[in-house]
Amino acid sequence: MLRLGVAVRFAARGMSMQPLLQDGDLLTVQPVAAQRLWVGDVALCMVEPGRVVAHRVLRKVRLGDDLRIVVQGDRAPQPDGALSAEQILGRVVLVERGERRLRMNAVPLRVLGWMAALRSRGDVPAGALGGLTARWLRRMPGLRRYLA
């Protein structure tokens, strides 16, 4: 459906993106071209035949005319690899848990996503971002309640 330009909604399975995404959360994914992804976005990707994951974009790498997207689960120890544009299926735009809704394109979530990507990439020490992230979460009670 995503390849046809139609958004999809489904229940997430797994724990690789906790605490942001929980097993059973409903995700809404919209089609997106790989070049339109931002570092920090959560993308739906086919990492290998028959295995689709919703993982965070860590970086975009251009090799000549070839664009590669490096993704990793927030709790995963290493990236899934440098994926081709064809392996990118869409961008997670909404997460639903019970009555709670988390719009992933909201500016605070974009900033937190970018900080999570930097932490996963190892560009900054985890402790340095941990304090900053904690301060952001304290200022956003709706998000703090969602992650609890």
Domain definitions of the chain by residue range: 2-147
Catalogue the E-assigned strands of the chain. 8-11, 26-30, 42-48, 51-63, 66-72, 82-84, 88-97, 100-103
Q: With pLDDT > 90 as the criterion, what percentage of the chain qualifies? A: 59
CATH for 2-147, options being 2.10.109.10, 3.30.70.2750, 2.170.190.11, 2.60.40.10: 2.10.109.10
Is the model's pTM score more than 0.75?
yes
Q: Which tens digits make up the pLDDT trace of 73-92?
A: 999 989 999 999 999 999 99
Q: Which tens digits make up the pLDDT trace of 104-134?
A: 999 888 888 888 888 887 765 555 555 555 5
